[in-house]
Amino acid sequence: MSRRKLVAGNWKMNGLVASLAEFDRISAGAAAVSGADALICPPATLIAALAGRGLALGGQDCHAKPSGAHTGDLSAEMLRDAGASAVVLGHSERRADHGETDAQVRAKAEAAKRAGLLAIVCVGETLEQREAGQAVAVVGSQLAGSLPEGATAAEVVVAYEPVWAIGTGRAATPEDVREIHAALRAALVGRFGAEGENFRILYGGSVKPANAAELFAVPNVDGALVGGASLTAAEFLPILQAAA
């Protein structure tokens, strides 16, 4: 089974027009890497400005509806219109800050499909859940609730992001990642049959140039969702090269 790796950068609430030069450095470096896919998800305010500068772009959230009276929200169609080809959905920061539920994430994933965006659907347990031995059950339940019926690998990427590893400098160990990614793979195959083998499963949480290669060597790790280290070419490009 050969799944092409994807390294997606999630800029979160970082990035101003002044960030364009750094984006161009990332884009130029990524163009020289042919063995893996690269994607940057900047704040939505920058998508239109960054479109056409050589690198695939994604949003960080979308509303489930295509348009309407939803002040402050953006639809999948709007992200696509601005130049995005993907969208991160159900990130733990959205689940925590905005109370997003699996059902809402699933509706957003359906919206992404409707608009022609690749949905990067995030799952991940908290430290309390891990310490209680619930990590596999929690991510399995999030996966089951967040993926649309009949989802395909061309439409959906799964990202395992343990909450306790995000922004902490404490990445999950390869052993932890192996266990969870194997469980996610089994769940995908159980639900989608042979197509389940084709879904890319990214790991996210304190991925850095120093740990990328060992994480990418873990079975069923098909790339990374990178936060802090995606903000500079100096950190993002070595991670992308490790995936190639």
Binding site for ligand 13P (CB under 6 A): 10, 91, 161, 166-167, 204-207, 225-229
Q: Is 181 a catalytic residue?
A: no
Closer by beta carbon to ligand 13P, 61 or else 77: 61
Q: Which two three-digit tokens encode residue 67? A: 């348009």
Closer by beta carbon to ligand 13P, 91 or else 200: 91
Closer by beta carbon to ligand 13P, 77 or else 93: 93
Q: Which two three-digit tokens encode residue 64? A: 């489930």
User: Least distance from C-beta 202 to ligand 13P, angstroms?
Assistant: 9
| CA-CA-CA-CA torsion sign (174, 180, 183, 184) | negative
Q: How far apart are CA 178 and CA 240, in angstroms?
A: 20
Annotated active-site residue in 77, 110, 125, 161: 161
Q: How far apart are CA 227 and CA 208, in angstroms?
A: 9
Q: How far apart are CA 78 and CA 121, in angstroms?
A: 19
Q: How far apart are CA 96 and CA 178, in angstroms?
A: 25
Closest by Cα among 153, 125, 157 to 139 = 125
User: Least distance from C-beta 166 to ligand 13P, angstroms?
Assistant: 4
Annotated active-site residue in 63, 77, 91, 93: 91
Tell me which residue has its CB nearest to ligand 13P: 227
Q: Is 161 a catalytic residue?
A: yes
Q: How far apart are CA 87 and CA 74, in angstroms?
A: 11
Closer by beta carbon to ligand 13P, 89 or else 115: 89
Residue 53: which residues within 8 A CB-CB, separation 6 or more?
20, 23, 24, 27
Q: How many CB atoms lie within 10 A of CB 59?
A: 26
User: Least distance from C-beta 91 to ligand 13P, angstroms?
Assistant: 6
User: Least distance from C-beta 224 to ligand 13P, angstroms?
Assistant: 8
- Indicate which residues carry an active-site annotation: 91, 161
